[in-house]
């Protein structure tokens, strides 16, 4: 529950209350205008409370999302790490011996992609752009780890 009383959450709570009160006040103002004879104000009288309900919905969804992501207080912070280093070895060596990456903060290394030349026979009267696009799709299918920018053609 402490997560809901951080400065960011206090701002969210205050913003939600201000917006809901403001939208309801604007709805009431539109009702008074509609009662005075402004027929367009009836639509706005319905619209402003819908905005207030939407603000409450978004606030509630964010609140539930924050509470759902709260860690179990019985579990210590470092209990999620499964790799244990033998005495006298560096943690990076133990992680590498376990087949894991040494650190979650290590940047990923982009490996070169094996280039496969795809040959798609061009049919009689087939559009050249369509044939090139089909070669591109065939190359992407043959190189599943490739990015579209890796296409050699």
Residue 14 has pLDDT above 80, yes or no: yes
Distance in Å from the first CA to the final CA of the chain: 56
pLDDT, position 19: 97
Comparison of pLDDT for 102 and 49, the residue scoring more: 49
* Residues in the chain, overall count: 153
Residue 43 has pLDDT above 60, yes or no: yes
Domain end among 42, 68, 94: 68
Strand (E) or helix (H) holding 29: helix 7-35
% of the chain exceeding 70 in pLDDT: 63
**Which pLDDT band holds residue 114 (cuts at 50, 70, 90)?**
low
In a domain, 107, yes or no: no
In a domain, 76, yes or no: no
pLDDT, position 2: 81
Rounded (5°) CA angle 19-25-27 = 100
pLDDT, position 53: 97
In a domain, 56, yes or no: yes
In a domain, 86, yes or no: no
Residue-averaged pLDDT of the chain: 77
Residue 85 has pLDDT above 50, yes or no: no
In a domain, 111, yes or no: no
**Mean pLDDT throughout 67-91?**
56
Nearest to 48 by CA among 27, 18, 69: 27
In a domain, 90, yes or no: no
Q: Which range marks the domain in which residue 43 is found?
A: 2-68
The number of distinct structural domains making up the chain is 2
Cβ-contact 107, 90 below 8 angstroms: no
In a domain, 13, yes or no: yes
For tokens 């319905």, what's the residue?
46
Domain end among 27, 51, 68: 68
In a domain, 89, yes or no: no
Dist. CA 144–CA 140, nearest whole Å: 6
% of the chain exceeding 90 in pLDDT: 39
Is the entire prediction scored with pTM above 0.85?
A: no
């Amino acid at each position: 529950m402490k997560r809901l009383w951080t400065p960011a959450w206090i701002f969210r709570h205050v913003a939600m209350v201000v917006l809901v009160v403001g939208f309801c006040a604007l709805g009431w103002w539109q009702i008074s205008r509609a009662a005075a004879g402004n027929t367009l104000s009836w639509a706005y009288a319905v619209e402003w409370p819908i905005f207030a309900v939407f603000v409450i919905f978004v606030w509630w969804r964010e609140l539930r999302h924050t509470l759902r992501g709260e860690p179990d207080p019985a579990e210590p912070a470092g209990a999620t790490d499964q790799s244990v280093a033998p005495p006298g070895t560096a943690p990076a060596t133990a992680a590498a011996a376990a087949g894991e990456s040494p650190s979650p903060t290590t940047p990923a290394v982009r490996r070169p992609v094996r280039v496969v030349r795809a040959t798609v026979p061009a049919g009689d009267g087939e559009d050249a752009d369509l044939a090139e696009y089909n070669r591109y799709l065939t190359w992407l299918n043959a190189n599943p780890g490739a990015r579209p920018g890796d296409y050699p053609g």
